[in-house]
Every structure is written in structure tokens, then in C-alpha cells.
């Protein structure tokens, strides 16, 4: 990235929870400058400060207060090189497709295209190499594209666990079994989210579609990209060493920060010891950090030695929520190793991942700087 050069970016769904987080993170970004904000027709035409019900812990950045909100139509974002989408899934599908067709690079937080076999599902601290499928996505589009594409980030609960899983596979080889029980924050449901009478003094042992997302997204993320004799690429979905995943998801009365209790079984025998696992987690350095992505965390995985950490209230904002915390690493009497993961669902689980994905795309030349 050329020093001093700025890239215009647009934000779709800018008045929503994820859109607000995009604005908070991008307002001081060294490469990206917020050029356009998009929202629903009822917000279009209003200054951003008048259109938004601001719910972040910091004030609205002064640079966007008077920016007039636009409808989410590609012609209103023609001067942007990158589009960040914080749209709800019920609106994201057609809108993101239209922006891609208009030759815009879309980095989406929505679920709509995660299963698409030509759309990379990227947790930037794990599988940035999946950006290699973008030329195929562009070539298969009708008509073929030269600059437009869609990249998705993962579900917030999936993101938290695949980062330590990737570290363990890098150090010790493939995993065979994964059991995960999540305790997910209410901010993951958006705003206004879960009714107070449902969540206060309560745990809700069901989040629609969440368990299935963890179970298949993990495989797409940890799997590689394979190429056939004709040069067609596809995701191997962990085909060489199939990982079986079982997830149980719960909504708990925490504002931000997903906590997940994980048990894993390794293919290798004997399995690594808890101390070996701690050392491998702490040493994990992803490509995003090595390449110089400005939003990548200094420490990808923070390993806690205390018996009662990590905790959402104490650890969710470390490194502005860009890394993950792992604690209580110990032997599992049923599988091999068990531990607790905490991730900030509105940062690395959402907006931060999309921003690092865009930084990687710039550094790899997928988006012209």
C-alpha cells in the first residue's frame, strides 16, 4: 500500500449495529476513508446523525455526522473502491449482488453468500488464501467481471473457535472431533434484539440456524482450495481429514462477547499435552499480521493461566476486540483437550474481520490500491 494513499469506502446498512461498528473502526483507519453511507429508503436523504439510533460506547465520529445517507444503490457508490456490508440478511442478497455486478468489491457480514461455492468465506486470521477463488467467481459471473466480487466473513460464533482450531491444526495436524457449547451475547441478535423479558434472569438454549452454521462453516474455513485438471477451483470442506463438529448454542444475558466451551480430539496419537497446546496457541501468527494489515491484532490468541478467565466483562475489549482469548486449557476425559474461548462478536466476529479481509485484498492486489 502506497504511503499516504487513501481508498474510498462505502458502508451499507450504516445505521445498524454492525454498520455503526464499521464506522467506529474505519473513522481513524490509516488506509480507508469513509466516502458514502447507505441505509434503507426511510433513512436516505438525512444527515447520518439524524438517521441513526447510535448505540456505540463512543460518540459518533464527527466526520460522518453530516454525511447524507444514500439509498443502497450502486450508482450512489461509484466513487468507492470497497464496499462494507452490514446489511441484514433479508436485504443483503439482491443488494450485494447488484453492487458486485456494478464492478464493486463487496466485503459482507451477511450470511447470504457464505454457502456459494465461488464465494470465499474468510476468517482473516485463518484462511486468507481462499481469496484465490475470486478470479473464478468473476469469470463465472454473467457477464464476466474484472473488479467486482463478494467476500464474506463467518458467523460470529464460528469465528471465535476457528482461530484456535487453526492454530492447533498448524501445530499438531488435523482434528477429528469438535464439541462446542456457546454462550452468546445479546448483541449478536442485532438491535433491538432479544426482548428483555426473554433474556433477563434467563438463558435461551436455542438460536435459530446457529448450530448448523458452526457445523458447516468450520469445515469450509479450515478446508483448502483444490483445483481439478481443467483448472476449476473448489473448497475441499476438510475432505482429506474430515472433521466432525457438534455445536450447542445458547443466548445469555451478556451485552458483547461470545464465550465457547470447546473439546477436541486430534488425529495424531498420542495427542499434545495441555502445555503444548498453550504454547502453540500463544505462538500462532497469521498471514494478516505478517503482511502488515493495520487492523490485525498484535497477539492473535491471548492464553490465560488464571482458572477463571477469560470473562466477557474483563477481556472482550482487549486489542479493541480484534484477537481472541483462550483459557482453562486442560485434558478432556472424553476427547483429548478442552478449553474456553472468548471473542468479541461485534469486532473480530463481525466488522473487524471484514476490514482485515479488505486489507488483505489490497495487500494481495485483489483490490487496486
Query: Residues with catalytic annotation?
Result: 156, 258
CB atoms near residue 231 (< 10 Å): 7
The count of residues in the chain is: 369
CB atoms near residue 8 (< 10 Å): 15
Sign of the four-CA dihedral 231, 235, 239, 240:
positive
Contact indicator for 349, 157 with CB cutoff of 8 Å? yes
Return d(Cα 75, Cα 53) in angstroms, integer.
26
Cα 20 to Cα 53, 142, 288: the distances in Å are: 9, 33, 24
Return d(Cα 185, Cα 101) in angstroms, integer.
35
Residue 41, helix vs strand vs coil = coil
E strand spans, 222-366? 225-227, 233-235, 244-251, 258-266, 301-303, 324-331, 337-343
Return d(Cα 99, Cα 73) in angstroms, integer.
7
Return d(Cα 258, Cα 273) in angstroms, integer.
26
CB atoms near residue 41 (< 10 Å): 9
E strand spans, the chain? 7-12, 32-39, 70-71, 82-85, 105-108, 149-152, 175-184, 225-227, 233-235, 244-251, 258-266, 301-303, 324-331, 337-343
CB atoms near residue 300 (< 10 Å): 25
Q: At what angle do helices 210-222 and 156-172 cross, to 10 degrees?
A: 40
Amino acid at each position: 500500500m502506497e504511503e499516504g494513499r487513501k481508498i474510498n469506502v462505502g458502508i451499507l446498512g450504516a445505521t445498524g449495529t454492525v454498520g455503526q461498528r464499521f464506522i467506529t473502526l474505519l473513522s481513524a483507519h490509516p488506509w480507508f476513508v469513509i466516502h458514502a453511507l447507505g441505509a434503507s429508503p426511510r433513512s436516505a436523504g438525512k444527515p447520518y446523525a439524524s438517521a441513526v439510533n447510535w448505540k456505540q460506547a463512543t460518540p459518533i465520529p464527527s466526520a460522518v455526522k453530516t454525511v447524507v445517507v444514500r439509498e443502497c444503490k450502486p450508482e450512489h457508490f461509484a466513487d468507492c473502491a470497497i464496499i462494507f456490508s452490514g446489511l441484514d440478511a433479508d436485504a443483503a442478497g439482491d443488494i450485494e449482488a447488484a453492487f458486485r455486478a456494478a464492478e464493486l468489491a463487496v466485503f459482507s457480514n451477511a450470511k447470504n453468500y457464505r454457502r456459494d461455492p465461488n464465494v470465499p468465506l474468510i476468517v482473516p486470521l485463518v484462511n486468507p488464501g481462499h481469496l484465490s477463488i475470486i478470479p473464478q467467481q468473476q469469470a463465472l459471473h454473467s457477464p464476466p467481471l474484472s473488479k467486482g466480487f463478494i467476500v464474506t466473513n463467518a458467523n460470529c460464533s464460528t469465528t471465535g473457535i476457528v482461530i484456535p482450531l487453526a492454530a492447533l491444526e498448524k501445530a499438531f495436524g488435523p482434528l477429528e472431533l469438535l464439541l462446542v457449547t456457546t454462550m452468546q451475547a445479546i448483541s449478536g441478535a442485532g438491535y433491538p434484539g432479544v426482548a428483555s423479558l426473554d433474556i433477563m434472569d434467563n438463558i435461551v438454549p436455542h438460536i435459530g440456524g446457529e448450530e448448523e452454521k458452526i457445523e458447516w462453516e468450520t469445515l469450509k474455513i479450515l478446508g483448502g482450495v483444490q483445483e481439478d485438471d481443467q483448472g476449476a477451483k473448489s473448497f475441499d470442506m476438510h475432505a482429506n481429514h474430515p472433521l466432525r463438529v457438534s455445536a450447542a448454542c445458547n443466548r445469555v444475558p451478556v451485552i458483547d462477547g461470545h464465550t465457547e466451551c470447546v473439546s477436541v480430539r486430534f488425529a495424531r496419537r498420542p495427542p499434545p499435552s495441555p502445555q503444548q497446546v498453550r504454547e502453540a496457541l500463544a505462538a500462532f501468527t497469521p498471514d494478516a499480521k505478517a503482511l502488515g494489515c493495520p487492523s490485525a491484532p498484535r497477539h492473535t490468541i491471548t492464553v490465560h493461566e488464571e482458572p477463571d478467565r477469560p470473562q466477557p466483562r474483563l477481556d472482550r475489549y482487549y486489542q479493541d476486540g480484534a484477537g481472541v482469548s483462550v483459557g482453562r486449557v486442560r485434558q478432556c476425559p472424553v476427547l483429548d483437550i478442552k478449553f474456553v474461548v472468548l471473542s468479541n462478536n461485534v469486532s473480530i466476529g463481525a466488522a473487524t474481520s471484514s476490514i482485515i479481509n479488505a486489507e488483505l485484498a489490497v495487500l494481495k492486489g485483489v483490490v487496486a490500491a
